[in-house]
Amino acid sequence: MNADALRHFYDYHFSENRNLWKSYIMQISQEQFTRDADYSHGSIRDQIFHLISVDDTWFSDLRGVALPEPLDPADFPNLESIRAHWDTVEKKMRGYLAELRDDMLADKPLSGEDENLALWQILLHVVNHGTDHRAQILRLLNDLGVKTVSQDYIFYVYEHPV
């Protein structure tokens, strides 16, 4: 594991988040987006907010800044405002990743319950978490009758060889 490999893996994560948004979220109605689901974190909107929040929380902790407050759907009047916030979170993550060096990966940068986690483990966890919740969103979209495609990492690699 090295910093460049992790940056590549995050490029996959960001690409899949954007594909989910562009290919599916922008194609469904507001009612479908907010429709309650008795599954995981609930509606597609609530799943999206969870994805954004978890990414932002982990990377805020890694950057040593205050953890973000939970997202309130009332603060986001439309899809554009949600996407703009997600873009801001991605930009902060990319900024952190741009400074990532191989010699940092074994460091244990956090305290409390996460004090024994190496940086490389945290970084892999965040992408893995995103894959899990994108899969849950794809399932909810499938339940709405939306035809989706695979988000497998290997397909990203085929299109983006290193």
Residue 140 banded pLDDT, cuts 50, 70, 90: very high
pLDDT at residue number 39: 77
Domain total of the chain: 1
Span 25-84, pLDDT tens digits: 999 999 999 999 887 888 999 999 999 999 999 999 999 999 999 999 999 999 999 999
CATH code for the domain in which residue 90 is found = 1.20.120.450
Q: How many CB atoms lie within 10 A of CB 137?
A: 24
> What is the domain extent for residue 37?
3-159
Task: Find all residues with CB under 8 Å of 66, minimum gap 6, and list them.
Answer: 60
Contact 105, 1 (CB under 8 A): yes
Contact 96, 62 (CB under 8 A): yes
* Mean pLDDT, rounded, for 2-24: 97
Q: How many helices, marked H, and strands, marked E, lie in the chain?
A: 6, 0
Task: Find all residues with CB under 8 Å of 13, minimum gap 6, and list them.
Answer: 126, 127, 130, 131
Distance (Å, whole) CA 149 – CA 51:
19
The helix or strand, by DSSP H or E, that contains position 36, with its residue range, turns out to be: none
pLDDT at residue number 84: 98
pLDDT at residue number 162: 82
